[in-house]
Chain A
Amino acid sequence: NAGVTQTPKFQVLKTGQSMTLQCAQDMNHEYMSWYRQDPGMGLRLIHYSVGAGITDQGEVPNGYNVSRSTTEDFPLRLLSAAPSQTSVYFCASSPPGDGYTFGSGTRLTVV
């Protein structure tokens, strides 16, 4: 089925560990983005990309890196995990001027 695929669905990390959250879409969408969702905070944009080789920061980029080497993939890297990064992470993609298709999320716990 076409859509946005996120892996893993669940992850527990120790403080200081690094990891990569994977996101792939098969709809040839130009735009991809990463959000984190925390209780009472809504959705907050971490990083986004308007095409291969182009990335930019959202409102909460600290502690995260991204790259976009292909149209399909947009991985999110946690450089040195902190308890404050415990959250649910969503990847989304869209064509220009249209709504987003979201992945099913990655629930990350940092202990």
Chain B
Amino acid sequence: AQSVTQPDIHITVSEGASLELRCNYSYGATPYLFWYVQSPGQGLQLLLKYFSGDTLVQGIKGFEAEFKRSQSSFNLRKPSVHWSDAAEYFCAVGFSNDYKLSFGAGTTVTVRA
């Protein structure tokens, strides 16, 4: 079945430490890939997106993501997290011939001092 999986429901990380959030997809073709962030009480904000080309994508707020076709993954990373990075993060996939995006269940990130 086609799906988007975020294996980690909740991650706790210390301020200043690195962060990696996992996203795997199961589709026949290579989809468009997105990461969104949702701060408490807010809407979802687009962090970055991958359509084609360079497999390492830079986004806003110091985030980057790497597309690995062989692993069907699109993991999000940040070298040094700030307390303001505490939020929920969603991976999403789409296709060029379809408006609809499919979202993962989300990963909640807690940042401890």
**Residues of chain A at the chain B interface (Cβ within 8 Å):** 30-31, 33, 42-43, 45, 48, 50, 90, 92, 94, 96-105
Contacts and interface: CB of A to CB of B under 8 A. Distances in A.
Contact of A99 (B49, B97, B105): B49
Contact of A100 (B46, B97, B104, B106): B46
Given A42-B104, A42-B105, A99-B49, A30 B99 contact: yes
B96 interface: yes
B96 A97 contact: yes
B34 A42 contact: no
Interface stretch (B14-22, B37-45, B66-74): B37-45
Given A42-B90, A42-B106, A96-B96, 13 more contacts: A31-B99, A33-B100, A43-B103, A90-B43, A92-B44, A97-B96, A97-B97, A97-B99, A99-B32, A99-B36, A99-B94, A99-B101, A105-B43
